[in-house]
Chains A and B, each alone.
Chain A
Amino acid sequence: MTEQTALADSRAGHGEKPDGAVVRDALGVGVAVGLSGFAFGVTSAGSGLTPVQTCVLSLLVFTGASQFALVGALAAGGNPLTAAAGAFFLGVRNAFYGLRLSQLLALPRAVRPFAAHWVIDETTAVALAQPTRRSARLGFTVTGLSLYLLWNLTTLLGALGAEAIGDTGAWGLDAAGPAVFLALLAPMLRSTTERAVAGLAVLLGLGLLSVLPAGVPVLVAALAAPAVLYVTGRRRGGARDLAEPGPVEKEDR
């Protein structure tokens, strides 16, 4: 409880932020990202999923990177559980967003199972940027609601549109998936550690492509994270460095 109030107090110092401004910020993010559900709908249809399957993914999974990863892995002919594992590991970051948000929003227990569905990159980024608990709650809710509605609507339009278009490849729509991943990845490459992890992961992901079943190379590439962490930890003298969370620790993107 002390942590919660301390967090709120440190932010309250910046003064109140008008509700209108919070709603504007939240809608800006919600609408811009919500529209990219169209790219997901098209990509998913191009990967061979039916419009119903595509819409169920957006309704029930509702975390974009995992959705793109899943349909990509299925299109490559991966085993369903291997494909789901890759999508799940990408979704694990949302657990850490939830930790930050549960202190910041201080939601009643009964509300948490519902709020949980909206705990994603964008809602976390907007909520953490607010000066007070009240505006954080407002920002979280407006971003979550606008993004959820639009993401699902544009997913449906994309899935139906892809059927009408026919060959999505001719329209270059198969490039939407990797472009989305790159756009999510770019702001994360802040220091040498992140770049080393990304570089090693690319080598593993591409190098193992021809020797392992579809979907598995991505899971092996995830080991680049602990591997680089281990090496940098050793090089800098271990525990001391790891005990001090630097700016790198900010999980909001």
Chain B
Amino acid sequence: MNTWIAIGATALGCYAAKLAGLLVPAGALERPLVRRLAALLPVALLAALTAQQTFADGHTLVLDARAAGLAAAAVALVLRAPFLLVVAAAVVVTAGVRAMGG
């Protein structure tokens, strides 16, 4: 049930955000400070999420195979690999390290 509540709230919230952009008069959200904040907000969230989903196990920090996988993804990004290849690199390396007992 909790999962459905989360799904419903996310669907409503995300749709409202998308629709708001198309409906509000141009200029309402165009204040430079608001725009800068909107551009930086995903940077903060994505960075925190990347770190947590790589190094967190419940409430503790761990260094496991996922870190190697993320490093592989970073290398792929530096080499300008396409999106799917970046994700695949992380998955394959993580699985490989785990298979070797890492």
Judge if A12 is at the interface, Cβ distance under 8 Å. no
Judge if A22 is at the interface, Cβ distance under 8 Å. no
Interface size range on A against B? 35 or more
Contact of B44 among A88, A222, A243 (CB under 8 A): A222
Complexed CA–CA distance, A242 and B36 (Å)? 8
Given A36-B84, A179-B69, are A225 and B21 also a contact pair (CB < 8 Å)? Answer: no
- When distances are taken between beta carbons in the complex, the residues of chain B under 8 Å from A27 are none
Least CB distance, A122 to chain B, in whole angstroms:
10
- When distances are taken between beta carbons in the complex, the residues of chain B under 8 Å from A77 are 58
User: Main SS of chain A's interface residues?
Assistant: helix
Complexed CA–CA distance, A206 and B13 (Å)? 26
Of residues 56 to 89 in B, which have CB atoms within 8 Å of A's CB atoms? 56, 58-61, 65-66, 69-70, 73-74, 77, 82-84, 86-87, 89
- Contact (Cβ within 8 A) B77 A119: no
**Chain B residue with Cβ nearest A93:** B42
Can you offer 13 A-B residue contacts whose CB atoms are under 8 A? A33-B83, A57-B7, A60-B7, A80-B3, A81-B5, A103-B26, A119-B21, A193-B40, A200-B44, A204-B48, A205-B51, A221-B48, A222-B48
- Contact (Cβ within 8 A) B98 A181: no
- When distances are taken between beta carbons in the complex, the residues of chain B under 8 Å from A223 are 44
